A and B are shown apart, each in its own frame.
Chain A
Amino acid sequence: MWRFLLLQAARLALGLVGAVLLAACVAALAAEGAQSGAGAYFSALLAQLNAFAHLDFGTSIISGIPALGELGLRLPVTLELVGLGAIVALVLGGPLGILLGTERPLRAAAPLLQIVAATPVFVASLALLWLAANVLHWPDMTFPVFADRGDLDSTVRVLALPVLTVGAAGAAAIQLALRRATAEAMDEPYRRGLRLMGLSTLEINRVYLLPQVLTGLCRSFGDIALALFAAAAVAEWVFGWPGAAVLFLKSVALHDWHVAALVLFVFAAIKFLADFAGELGAEALSARSAAT
């Protein structure tokens, strides 16, 4: 167990080092004359790495405030969107994945799922906006008054569409992870043996199948996080949410490289942390399952 833990910690550390390097490569573009030649760029890169080592992440050229402060204002908005989207993804994708993995006749729904999976996030968000405007008769939700969450109704209206958009993208990743794990576990030969020993299907599923399925889900944490953040970037743009992903788009458009670098670092670090947590969770579940 210790060896596994050390290995995962080393992988996380290597990933984070790489993310710092990537961020430094981007932030170095902000240095004067960095784009004039390879030599100038590499000296800017070294200077940037040195600045990062002293926790100096530079200043935004747009707002004039430190990049870290700028991100501090925007990241909670993205995390709220991604967090709520993850809940929706679990609620939608969880049962769907298990049902599709266990109930073979439900595989007839596969073509519909393929169509949903082929729909780009921006198309899905525009379709949701159209439905909200023309079916639910909501007012224009593209630029909601973000802070206007006075009552439950307005809160639901502000949150529903972007959260559904992000949640649907995450649900696709979750159902796939669960479906594959469930289908694999359903074909395990031990199920027949346990049934012959007199255990009920419910007992087998609760004690043996569930940990195996959850292990599969844990191993996909990184991919799920990636899907959620990619969808958040589009949802923030379409629904006018002032989050970190939109901050990244604006920073790149205006060549505000310090801010863009910091956002990239945070997104990559979250992916590596999700991978790390997922591997630990999967290992803990496997160990518990083996002990049972």
Chain B
Amino acid sequence: MSAIGIVSMRSLPRLRAAIRAFGFAGLALIAVAVGLSDVIARAPADATGIGPVLAPPSSQFLLGTDALGRDVLSETLHALAVTLIHAGLATAITLAAGSLFGFIAARLPWKSGVVVRWFAGILGAVPALLLAILFVGIATRDYAAIAAGLAAAPLAFSRTYDRARALSVSRHAEFARATGIQGATLMRRDLAYEFRDTFLTIAARALAAVTITLSTMSFLGFGAVPPHRDLGLMIAAARASYLEAWWVAAFPALALLLLILFARLAAALDEGERP
């Protein structure tokens, strides 16, 4: 291997760590912007007639106004807050019903976890978006965040289950059992170590997945309910005028893209990898 090759191989983990840190910094910045959205935004959420209709970006309205005279900057900030809150809830559900349950299911007695793994595989064969829409159809749009979290859970479950199965038959597990350590103690220990090392990565991955699902659901009319508009709903509403007034869709789309991009970077996802 050439000297350049060796150097690049050595610097690869450092580069990955830097990219992850950049992703988390970006997410933190978004969280701060969301936290201060009521202060930064010049108008409350869904306030119409703030300015002229479809005014382009200017010094008065930095990101322009929409078809109802709403300030696009204020609306984007409010919608980003709604998106992040819903995505946070959905992420928590994915982590609990997918990752945590997957870890526990791998240690269930009488190999009953295999049946759950099979069922997760069935649910994972349907696109998460369609699964989430189905859940919303069965319940109501008020439960969109829960539906998105549950729809992303099968994939998270399968990943964690497979890793936990490998851990449960590893050498350290064999030694532990041979020395009389209880299965429950071993599981607690593995759970603590596994999640201590990977929790943030798994959470960022789930955040990327549920944000895409939630915003697409809202865009299709199965997600957020007005007046609590999220970015997907805001972009959907902009469809009527964005061909002539690009700013009404471009800025919410940019905010959404940044949120997903930072979550992907924080999760150290490969380019094109499914979150």
Contacts and interface: CB of A to CB of B under 8 A. Distances in A.
A252 interface: yes
Given A120-B212, A123-B256, A114 B271 contact: yes
Given A110-B271, A230-B130, A237-B220, A15 B257 contact: no
Interface residues of B, number: 45
A29 interface: yes
A271 B216 contact: no
Given A15-B122, A175-B272, A176-B273, A233 B127 contact: yes
Contacts of B112: none
Contacts of B122: 15, 18-19, 21-22, 268
Contacts, number: 133
Contacts of B130: 230, 233, 245, 248, 264, 267
Nearest to B261: A118
A234 B198 CA distance: 32
Nearest to A20: B122
B92 interface: no
A127 B249 CA distance: 9
Given A253-B221, A268-B126, A118 B257 contact: yes
Interface string B103-139: 0000000000000001101110111111001101110
B243 A133 contact: yes
B86 interface: no
A115 interface: yes
Contacts of B93: none
Contacts of A18: 118-119, 121-122, 125
**Among A22, A118, A126, A133, residue most surrounded by chain B Cβ atoms (within 10 Å):** A118
A176 B270 contact: yes
Interface stretch (A148-156, A198-206, A221-229): A221-229
Nearest to A245: B130
B243 A264 contact: no
B24 interface: no
A14 interface: yes
A271 B136 CA distance: 23
Contacts of B133: 248-249, 252
A26 interface: yes
Given A15-B125, A230-B129, A234-B220, A117 B271 contact: yes
Interface in A76-127: 104, 110, 113-123, 126-127
Interface string B205-240: 000100010011001111000000000100100010
Contact of B126 (A129, A252, A267): A267
B95 interface: no
A237 B271 CA distance: 26
B242 A126 contact: yes
Contact of A234 (B216, B235, B243, B249): B216
B1 to A, nearest CB: 10
B243 A104 contact: no
A180 B249 CA distance: 35
A134 interface: yes
A173 B134 CA distance: 25
B265 A114 contact: yes
Contacts of A173: 272, 274
A226 B222 CA distance: 21
B253 interface: yes
A126 B127 contact: no
B126 A122 contact: no
A115 B212 CA distance: 14
Contacts of B274: 173, 223, 227
B55 interface: no
Nearest to B212: A120
Given A230-B129, A234-B216, A271-B125, A176 B134 contact: no
15 contacts: A15-B125, A22-B122, A26-B134, A120-B216, A122-B216, A123-B256, A123-B257, A126-B235, A126-B239, A126-B242, A223-B274, A249-B133, A253-B221, A267-B125, A272-B125
Interface of A: 14-15, 18-19, 21-22, 26, 29, 104, 110, 113-123, 126-127, 129-130, 133-134, 140, 142, 172-173, 175-176, 179-180, 222-223, 226-227, 229-230, 233-234, 237, 245, 248-249, 252-253, 255, 260, 264, 267-268, 271-272
Closest 9 CB pairs of A and B: A18-B122, A252-B137, A230-B127, A113-B271, A172-B272, A176-B272, A118-B261, A271-B125, A268-B125
